[in-house]
Amino acid sequence: MTVVLTETDETEVAATGGLWLTAAEAERATGWTLKPEGMCRGEVCVPLPAGMAKGGRIDLAAFWRHMGHPVVSDDAGETWVLGTGAATRSEMLAGLEAPDFTLPDLDGKPHRLSDLRGRKVFLTTWASW
């Protein structure tokens, strides 16, 4: 099996020759859906360049880079990180909406930042190291 790591998720997929996935697997790993107009998520559609789809599969790594995002993989090509590109990240920061996240506490209980809407939040970081 191949592992795809996105910003927050980890998905096992059946890939061939790099990161060629069926449209269903690509959607499960990234939330992007293959439609006649291209790869779509929500209202946004990005045309899929020739060569990135073949025999019912999509070259997800190439498509991700095509969108301006970094892609890195392990030596065996079995673990892939689909990152977030500088332009996308900069746009999100410029929008000033606090990026949402869900993280566990010590007991593993998940907490979602956006559940605190209506309160002022002092978001702070620390580390043991």
Rounded to 10 degrees, the C-alpha dihedral 21/48/90/126 comes to 0
How far is it, in rounded angstroms, from Cα 10 to Cα 17? 20
Q: Indicate whether 24 belongs to the interface with another protein (CB under 8 A).
A: no
Q: Indicate whether 51 belongs to the interface with another protein (CB under 8 A).
A: no
- Other beta carbons within 10 angstroms of residue 2's beta carbon come to 21
Burial class (CB in 10 A: 0-12, 13-18, 19+), 64: buried
- Other beta carbons within 10 angstroms of residue 121's beta carbon come to 10
- CB nearer to another protein: give 50 or 127: 127
Question: Contacting another protein (CB under 8 A), which of 35, 44, 72, 77?
Answer: 72
Stretch that binds another protein, among 11-19, 42-50, 53-61, 104-112 (CB under 8 A): 104-112
Q: Indicate whether 114 belongs to the interface with another protein (CB under 8 A).
A: yes
Interface residue list for another protein (CB under 8 A): 3, 5, 7-8, 10, 69-75, 79, 81, 83-86, 89-90, 92-94, 96-99, 101, 103-106, 108, 111, 113-114, 116-129
